[in-house]
Chains A and B, each alone.
Chain A
Amino acid sequence: MSGLTPGFRGHRRIESDRVPPGQYLTEDFPVLSAGPTPSIGTDDWTFTVVAETGERHVWDWRQFAALPQETPTADIHCVTRWSKLDTTWKGVSIDTLLAEVDTTADFAVVHTFDGYTTNMPFADITDGQAWVVTEYEGEPLAAEHGGPARFLLPHLYFWKSAKWVSAITLHDEDNPGFWERAGYHDYGDPWLEQRYQSGW
């Protein structure tokens, strides 16, 4: 692996600048799950965007695959304290999915096939910051990692990158999601260690 190359020391030093406070690096890709892994066939898969006006856009698997595809490389940070650098993905930018959507929303909620939700400001999912991805490290995304498709929002804690993604809804007001209602931070910036709700 890269850790055995002559550039090891310098490489590690630079890597440490990429690990947020309270996180450790892992080479594994731990599987976290809050329920049974759903089995979703691509024949049954759709992705939906619903604007705050009620305007809907729906893609089936074939239509989604025909959209312009991007191959983001991202460092990901799980609130359970592991971080993983240079993960590679293939999918569709949220900018592409929102191109035809008429919206002035301030917030978004990501929904999944198993009923999970997670929220974020609308400004955090545009301008090349978020994707719906269908491949990981050059392979179709495994079901345990959210396949056939997951949300990818790498600049916030990874619970925001919902597995088995089915829809994004846009809103004028904030709607805390599954973990955000239950004690986790509403925004979740790993560099500010926004793990839990603060205040009393």
Chain B
Amino acid sequence: MNDHIDGNMLAGALWQVFRPDITAAQARCAGCGMVGPVAGLTVYADAPGTVARCVRCEQVNLQLVQSPTDLWLSTTGLSFLRFRIPGQ
């Protein structure tokens, strides 16, 4: 009798806990093409939201706005975010 399913079915639930760390992702600046980890961006937090700029050209790469109910992440200053797939 097969009363179990395999561990892949945990992925959906465990994703809540073991999220990819976005600061480890590689980001490419849409302005100058600089590629580097999100953790390397220059962050300005004393603003209505949080602004992360390219360390080379100062273009805005990311904007974060948080309300009591929602989080907006704007990535229009990036041409890509590259994530390592966990476990690969």
> Is A80 an interface residue, CB under 8 A from the partner?
yes
Interface residues on B, range: 10 to 19
Q: Which of A66-74, A96-104, A130-138, A175-183 contacts B (4 or more CB under 8 A)?
A: A175-183
> Is B65 an interface residue, CB under 8 A from the partner?
yes
A180 to chain B, nearest CB (A): 10
> Is A84 an interface residue, CB under 8 A from the partner?
no
The SS class assigned to the A binding surface is loop
Chain A residue at smallest Cβ distance from B66: A183
Specify which of A30, A159, A182 is in contact with B72 (CB 8 Å cutoff): A182
CB-defined A-B contacts under 8 Å, sample of 16: A32-B47, A33-B47, A34-B44, A34-B60, A35-B51, A35-B53, A35-B60, A80-B48, A178-B60, A179-B49, A179-B65, A181-B76, A182-B65, A183-B49, A183-B74, A184-B48
Q: List 9 tightest A-B contacts by C-beta distance, closest first.
A: A183-B65, A183-B72, A196-B67, A34-B47, A34-B51, A182-B63, A182-B74, A32-B47, A182-B65
- Given contacts A184-B49, A196-B70, list 18 more A-B pairs with CB under 8 A: A30-B46, A32-B46, A33-B44, A34-B49, A34-B51, A35-B44, A78-B48, A79-B48, A179-B63, A179-B65, A182-B49, A182-B72, A183-B49, A183-B66, A183-B74, A184-B48, A184-B65, A196-B67
